[in-house]
Chain A
């Protein structure tokens, strides 16, 4: 792909809201996961979640509108606003509304409203339905509400692809920019952890439970037994490199390569294919850090690490690897928050730890970072691994990098 750079980030996460608080949380190894008290978890195998704490929508959205917007839409609006501000862009002033697009990853955001609406149908019958709920049952509500609140009139889409949802949105965002269909793209991912979604993940037996060592998000750990659902939003501002340079924007980093592979059989080979594909495009000689997708699920973490070894052979034993999901939990669009973290890592040269890594799994066997690590990071390999056979690799590099 041509040169697309990131000039702004906005984050709402279980470890902190706003990029500075988020960054502080990450490098401290702050555990964003805690016992859920917002709703009753008694019927479920899991009790914990990566919930966003202390989010005040009034700081971002005029109060009369807040009531009509679901939490996911509020996250999308707030994080997009922070990212645009961070990029120093005001829509309608620095950039025409028609040339600004929004392409977000989000899959289950409408489920809260769907649940409430359908509960009304089942319990009260068809006579008394709340018309405010239905429009926000659609998965594109978050991106659309953000486009309405922020005045974005360019390409407006929502992308879903299992756990690679935000990475896929990034791919389309890059394409729209390179095809000159927009000059600025707001991209990333949004998740809302609702009681009904929590129930769903539990019913499918995918979540972590206490099997003697506590209920933990423990990527690459021998005793991992499932993921912990999380929520939040990680939003990036994409621009073509030439445009960003022309307006002398601060450039966090560049998308050096992006590749996907699909297929449920022999998944580690597909993971390897996506890594090799991205490396071929990126033309990168070195990888300074691997931002792993490891989400503490027994199968996926093994697939990911096998794929890394297949693609990078012994090289990957020397490259520090960390999974931020140990602190954030897993949302299908948590790739957005992770990419925002990657950009801060490039800018600041600290690798956040993988917490809860106590019993190294020999099957995973990579150089997992347990304590925050200072290092000069010029390039990052970011993996995306999903349940249903989609694998993605994003290579990010410092914009001033010489590889």
Chain B
């Protein structure tokens, strides 16, 4: 892999329940701030859980004018806000006509579902809904809005692998840079809460009625979240040449399928272990070189158990010394945005020597007995590994490293 072009991250933008900027995100990770509260976006009083990491106190008119807003669903707004911050952070301000070298590869989960379900509800109630509510339903809609609004005229594409979508988008975006299809790619993704996904996870009985407690013995399921993360991936020589700030390098990745079950992970963890091993091999590092794992850690009984088993399989006895955390404990499971937000958390860990916590973690169980970091820690992180596992057995592992490793 090292003979190919190398890919670094030179800009980030984040919006989620606990933060509206990367700076706030860093502070919230340091403080272990939890953003999971009662949902107000729609009525979920009849569901077994009413909790999610909803973005509150958000007024779209602070960012967009009324005319533009008519064509933007909530997820598109989040993506555009995060993208603006990321491009500014990377000191890229393409003007009309000169953004040809910048592409977009986003990961999207339910995407414009909130908007489409509004259309569908009105239809079922015998009303005449506005057809433009349907526009954001195509998963590539946010990608196109991002490309158009910021004049990015390179390749644009959209990956949808449910909960690993935006992690996969980073892998594919990096591959495009390695093969010279683009110099710069805006990757990551977005998600907005919707009644369908909320009810959907309730129907599977994997939602915690309390804020989720990943890896804790009392965990009862996940808490959903929403937000967006956009990362600017750039060819390394180009970034060095222009003296850009570099958060870290994407050292390697693996995209794999478990070929097991549409919702459940393979229970021994051997498939997840295989995918982590492939990513380590791709990055050309030994497991012992990893300083921190940003776990998928959803808080469901099965996920946390299997992920822990997989980590033990790869790291053996060293697993017990390895700091592991689930940032979903603070920002919820942001589905299509999860991998992007967790990549951002992993890069902040590297750039600011900070291991984010699994907030609220008190006690593990007989399987989940690793070091899940209930409090944030200061400490050198040269290499961070981030897991994203999804419905369909779509697993993605990303490995990030310090710039001058």
Contacts and interface: CB of A to CB of B under 8 A. Distances in A.
Interface string A93-113: 000011001100001100100
B360 interface: no
Given A153-B258, A175-B179, A388-B144, A262 B121 contact: no
Interface string B172-209: 10011011010000000000000110011111110000
Size band of the A side of the interface?
A: 35 or more
Closest 3 CB pairs of A and B: A144-B392, A156-B257, A134-B200
Given A161-B156, A264-B148, A118 B196 contact: yes
A1 interface: yes
Contact of B160 (A138, A145, A204, A205): A138
A153 B392 contact: no
Q: Taking chain B's interface residues, is the majority helix, strand, or loop, or is none over half, making it mixed?
A: mixed
21 contacts: A107-B140, A111-B137, A118-B120, A118-B195, A119-B120, A126-B199, A135-B262, A135-B391, A140-B391, A141-B391, A144-B262, A147-B392, A147-B393, A150-B259, A155-B256, A156-B161, A158-B161, A175-B179, A179-B175, A262-B152, A332-B138
B147 A263 contact: yes
A140 B392 contact: yes
B202 A129 contact: yes
A260 B135 CA distance: 23
A172 B171 CA distance: 11
B121 A129 contact: no
B144 A98 contact: no
A114 B199 CA distance: 11
A108 B138 contact: yes
Contacts of A139: 139, 160
B385 to A, nearest CB: 18
B405 interface: no
B377 to A, nearest CB: 34
A154 interface: yes
A1 B179 contact: yes
B46 A125 contact: yes
Given A140-B161, A178-B179, A154 B256 contact: yes
A322 to B, nearest CB: 27
A204 B159 contact: no
Nearest to B194: A118
Contacts of B200: 117, 129, 134, 137
A262 B155 contact: yes
Nearest to A102: B257
B257 A154 contact: yes
Given A126-B44, A141-B262, A176-B255, 19 more contacts: A1-B179, A107-B140, A111-B137, A123-B124, A126-B199, A129-B203, A134-B204, A137-B110, A138-B391, A153-B271, A156-B255, A157-B168, A162-B144, A175-B176, A261-B153, A262-B103, A262-B147, A262-B153, A388-B144
